[in-house]
Amino acid sequence: MSILLEKARQLLSGRELCDHCLGRFFSALGSGLRNRERGRALRVVLHMTDRAIALASNGCGLCRGAFAHVPEWAERALQAVEGLEFQTYLMGTRVPFEIEALEQALQKEYDLRGEPFKQEFNREVGRLFGARLSERGRLVHVDFREPQIVLVMDLQQAKLTVQINSLFVYGRYRKLVRTIPQTRWPCRACGGRGCEECAFTGKRYAESVEELISPPLLRETRGSGTAFHGAGREDIDARMLGRGRPFVLEIKEPKIRTLDLERLQREINEQAAGKVEVSPLKLVSGSVVERLKHCEAEKIYEARVRFSAPVSPDRLREAFAVLEQTPIQQRTPRRVSHRRADLVRTRRVLAISGELVNPTEARIRVHGEGGLYIKELISGDEGRTRPSLSELVGVPAEVVELDVLEVLGDFLD
């Protein structure tokens, strides 16, 4: 202890330090104490043996009196969050370089490992901020991992900014028509600015799944915008049936976070009736978005297939057997090669079955690994997918209608 006291005496010799800053160098001592109390205690003890150590500091050469302004910062923070609904927050401080540099230099010189200025400052302002809110009946708490809002105090600029983190709504959608894309497509002619070709909408398709789902949620949360994250996507001309495809709608900068999701689900389904349907919605963590994006879920499809010449039931059955036993080599399909790298991938057909409706038409169900291109599995894509149904029955074949019946996998429902 006497060594620590000696270090404290030296820190105070020829230097003004406030109780916060002095105590912070010794933050490992005495759990449950605040730095201010540690600093004060050390100062009192030193004062009793050395009159040169004053009982109270006259300013602070380290934080430059920043702690005296804690109430002002808390007040500013309260004003900044007015009208914002949140339960969790994080305080952040942009610390002037000189404060950090001097603090580190002193820690090194006296071989002391106290907590950083920033940490104590965040805590002190946060403590007051939380207390004031709780006086008004609002309970909030600090969340280091996924705070709903982040308050950043810039000490140099004397400026406080609020960052409102996104709200994430999970659900599944069913798409009942073959004419709309999952997300908004900008017009190809004008790039979204609006032109004659797109009737000045800036869009290639009048509607999308995203645009049918997001407006009520955006309105209720009073957010600034949305982003739609699907667990993959179906072709525009394919329906999405069964339990639907998992998605997360990200709402940017929401002012409101408590939502009547049942009512919103009803509203979406009424307004999009006949086109899109959503399953029960729920709020989730932002980490779900990454999970959705990186999962290549197995899927079950139903395809209506047309052959350019009659095919026998036996031939079809034999082809199914080969497809189930052979890994499928798929070179990136021509129809997506303008936006995807040209490479060959191997995917499996886990199960395939079906029957002829007439000699040149069949209904086929395929359970495939994630990433299997169904239209090409049927047509062969001019030899880019091998083997293909067309190759095996020896007759050109194409998908005339495609439905996704299930997106399988471990999702949140």
Residues interacting with Zn ion, by CB under 5 A? 18, 21, 60, 62-63, 187, 189-190, 195, 197-198
Kindly give, in sequence order, each residue whose CB lies less than 8 Å from that of residue 112, ignoring residues fewer than 6 positions away. Answer: 7, 25, 26, 106
Instruction: Provide the minimum distance between the beta carbon of 217 and Zn ion in the complex, in angstroms, as a whole number.
Output: 27
Taking residue 21's Cβ as centre, other Cβ atoms within 10 Å add up to 29
Instruction: Provide the minimum distance between the beta carbon of 190 and Zn ion in the complex, in angstroms, as a whole number.
Output: 3
Residues in the chain: 413
Q: Which CB sits closer to Zn ion, 195 or 395? A: 195
Q: Of 235, 314, 381, 413, which is the active-site residue? A: 235
- Record the tokens describing residue 184, joined without a space: 């908004």
User: 161 φ, ψ to 5°?
Assistant: -125, 150
CA dist., res. 174 & res. 267, Å (int):
15
Active site residue 235: yes
Q: Which CB sits closer to Zn ion, 14 or 274? A: 14
CA dist., res. 334 & res. 382, Å (int):
9
Instruction: Provide the minimum distance between the beta carbon of 221 and Zn ion in the complex, in angstroms, as a whole number.
Output: 30
Residue 208's alpha-carbon distances to 180, 187, 188, 355, in angstroms, are 5, 13, 16, 33
Q: Which CB sits closer to Zn ion, 197 or 382? A: 197
CA dist., res. 236 & res. 413, Å (int):
25
Q: Which CB sits closer to Zn ion, 10 or 308? A: 10
CA dist., res. 299 & res. 407, Å (int):
5
Instruction: Provide the minimum distance between the beta carbon of 36 and Zn ion in the complex, in angstroms, as a whole number.
Output: 10
Q: Which CB sits closer to Zn ion, 121 or 373? A: 121
Instruction: Provide the minimum distance between the beta carbon of 128 and Zn ion in the complex, in angstroms, as a whole number.
Output: 17
Edge-first strand listing for the sheet containing 328-331: 344-347, 328-331, 385-386
Residues classed as catalytic: 235
